[in-house]
Chain A
Amino acid sequence: MTDIYEIENQMEESEPVVVNPEGELEVPDGTRDQQGTQVKESRWY
């Protein structure tokens, strides 16, 4: 059973994903700051 402590740890370690039009999950190119603004630099480069 997942408890709140596990959830906290999992969320800290995970990155947001997006759903593409086909319903697949993708890691977005940029990350978002706290205001929800798309950040230009890609963390993959």
Chain B
Amino acid sequence: MVRQLASDNQGKIIKPTRWSANWWEENPGRLVKERDIMADRFPKFELHNVDDNLAWRGPIKSNNRNRYTVVIKYPDEYPNPSQAPKAFIIEPRVDMEHTKHMWPDGRLCLFKPSDRDSRSWEKRSTAATVVSWTAAWIFAYERYQETGVWPGPEAD
């Protein structure tokens, strides 16, 4: 939920769209933390209010100097130790038939939830964590296109 419009020189606060509180209303400090970390590490990313939830959109440039536009969408309940934000590449379109580690809905498969030894989603992880994993996914994707081998460990 977002707030009623209030006109002033600093901008407009957004209207509410539903009665129940969203995660950022219940935990505004967490949203400020997410904002600060994203501004520090990925300042070109912009926050959008979509589908009654929040998503970051921004560019990632690969080692091969290709540009990707990615979207990181928060789950309805956040922070959630069992549900990470979802990562999508919306430009250029990644052909699901020619890659690995992508779910049927187009979401990137970034980690194995049961993997507690290396990369895993934790309550303290942030959207910036997911952006960095997405950058690693893009690196692996481009290597896979070149060599047919996905670098790094893969889940079964």
Contacts and interface: CB of A to CB of B under 8 A. Distances in A.
B60 interface: no
Contact of A25 (B3, B27, B55, B106): B3
A10 B106 contact: no
B104 to A, nearest CB: 8
Contacts of A16: 46-48
B73 A19 contact: no
Contact of B73 (A7, A17, A18, A32): A7
A2 B105 contact: yes
26 contacts: A1-B105, A2-B86, A2-B105, A4-B107, A7-B50, A7-B55, A10-B51, A10-B55, A11-B48, A11-B57, A17-B48, A17-B54, A18-B35, A19-B32, A19-B35, A20-B13, A23-B32, A24-B13, A24-B28, A25-B14, A26-B10, A26-B12, A27-B12, A27-B13, A29-B11, A44-B12
Interface of B: 2-3, 9-14, 24, 27-32, 34-35, 43-44, 46-51, 54-55, 57, 71, 73, 86, 88, 90, 105-107
